[in-house]
Amino acid sequence: MCRSRGKPIVYAGLETWPEPPIDGDETATLIGSLERQRATFSWKAGGLDAEALRVSVGTSSITLGGLLKHLALVEDHHFSVRLFDRAPAPPFDAIDWVADPNWDWSWAPDDTPDALYELWQVNVDQSRRLVAQALANGGLDQRIAQKWPDGRAPSLRRTLVDLIEEYARHVGHADLIRESIDGLVGEDPPGIHDE
């Protein structure tokens, strides 16, 4: 039986549970929504042992360990590589996309839980710094440095929306996988909205 590792679950490096502001401006609403998705994912994927991080549901190859690695890549790719035209961070710089297009699902079983959690957290933290820098230097309207294959360059606004969508999709996967591991269900952790 898969089990929790008994460690406290960190909500994506945040002290409290994030909520988008009720009446915030566009930037605060987008950032708040992304932080809520990150925190929900962190809760659903958090505190598990290696066996639990390798569990999949049905015929899917998606695991929580794979999602941790995939979303670490997504953070690096969107906010470092595409937004600022930087080289991919390790281990993403060593990926042979042609030979193994699904590397994040096939590589994760070889990683320890601590390595997977740290990889995701480091990339989330880096993304926060890069987004803050971009917002300070051009706001939501600025274009990302790397254009899409069709030559268009989306705005930071569109990139944030894309990340919210990416996390929302994978939080749904994480919901199903986590419930199959230990029965954990719910939209928010217990006690968040008890007041």
Write the pLDDT tens digit of every residue in 137-184. Answer: 999 999 999 998 999 999 999 999 999 999 999 999 999 999 999 999
Q: What are the chain's domains?
A: 26-182 (1.20.120.450)
C-alpha span between 160 and 17 (Å, rounded): 19
For residues 43-54, give the mean pLDDT: 95
Model pTM?
Answer: 0.90
Which residues are CB-contacts of 94 (< 8 A; sequence separation ≥ 6)?
A: none
Token pair recorded at residue 56: 């999949």
* Whether 155 contacts 140, CB under 8 Å: yes
Which residues are CB-contacts of 78 (< 8 A; sequence separation ≥ 6)?
A: 127, 159, 162, 163
Structure confidence at residue 195 (pLDDT): 55
Between 5 and 46, the higher pLDDT residue: 46
Write the pLDDT tens digit of every residue in 71-111. Answer: 999 999 999 999 999 999 999 998 887 777 777 677 777 89
What band does 5 get if pLDDT is binned at 50, 70 and 90? very low
